[in-house]
């Protein structure tokens, strides 16, 4: 099987944990800080962090258009938490830029005020019968999915995992657990 080359956007957030998970799945990894690092990537992970901050850093390093263009040319993107927020489509009245690579609206900090973070056993049918240990940290969810969007998991009827082609948007933090199934699923998408 061809070894996949996957970048991890390294502006803020849990970068190392994603690098480790991808390497454990057999991928070659690159940390991405500028547009030159996108060359030759099959996929890119956008980790969790704070979406307003990451958005500003993407602008400062001139990465918005290159990431969008590479994705339109076939590069897969796995966005977790902040990554999910950035992948979604801009909606009227929203001031923050979005990549618009998955046809959904996004709601930020959506799982209650008191419960900022929690872990739950999430059913993800495409990963098999055993539930996924999903860590939610001030997590977003997706809403109003377009026809191209495949919803892969919901929690409290909110979309927390979805795919559109090679774009995978995840509300929780798979890199903070030992379960590698979602990283493997992403690498499999890159082969399709
Ligand atoms: N609440 C954060 C945001 O709006 C996302 C949190 C996370 O990535 N863990 O960007």
Phi, psi values for residue 67, rounded to 5°: -65, -45
With beta carbons less than 8 A apart as the criterion, state whether 187 and 149 touch: no
pTM of the complete model? 0.96
Which residues constitute the domain of residue 51?
Answer: 5-190
What is the pLDDT, as a whole number, of residue 58?
Answer: 97
Which residues on adjacent β-strands are paired with residue 8? Answer: 31, 45
pLDDT digits (tens, 9 = 90+) for 124-139: 999 999 999 999 999 9
Cα-to-centroid distance, 136 and ligand 1 (Å)? 10
148 is catalytic: no
CATH number, domain of 50, equals 3.40.50.880
**Residue located nearest, by CA, to atom 1 of ligand 1:** 138
Determine which one of 25, 81, 104, 170 is catalytic.
81
CA distance 56 to 140: 19
Number of domain units in the chain:
1
* 3-state SS, residue 179: coil
Chain segment 20-39, per-residue pLDDT in tens: 999 999 999 999 999 999 99
């Amino acid at each position: 099987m061809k070894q996949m080359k996957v970048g991890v956007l390294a502006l803020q957030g849990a970068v190392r944990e994603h690098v480790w998970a991808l390497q454990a799945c057999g991928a070659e990894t690159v940390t991405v800080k500028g547009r030159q690092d996108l060359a030759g990537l099959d996929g890119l992970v956008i980790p969790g962090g704070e979406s307003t901050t990451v958005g500003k850093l993407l602008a400062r390093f001139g990465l918005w258009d290159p990431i969008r263009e590479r994705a339109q040319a076939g590069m897969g993107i796995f966005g977790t938490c902040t990554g999910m927020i950035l992948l979604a489509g801009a909606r009227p009245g929203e001031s923050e830029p979005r990549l618009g690579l998955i046809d959904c609206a996004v709601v930020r900090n959506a799982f209650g005020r008191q419960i900022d973070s929690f872990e739950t056993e999430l059913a993800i049918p495409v990963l098999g019968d055993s539930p996924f240990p999903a860590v939610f940290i001030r997590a977003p969810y997706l809403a109003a999915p377009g026809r191209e969007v495949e919803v892969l998991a919901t929690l409290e009827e909110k979309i927390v995992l979805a795919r559109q082609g090679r774009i995978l948007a995840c509300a929780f933090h798979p890199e903070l657990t030992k379960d590698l199934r979602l990283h493997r699923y992403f690498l499999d998408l890159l082969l399709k």
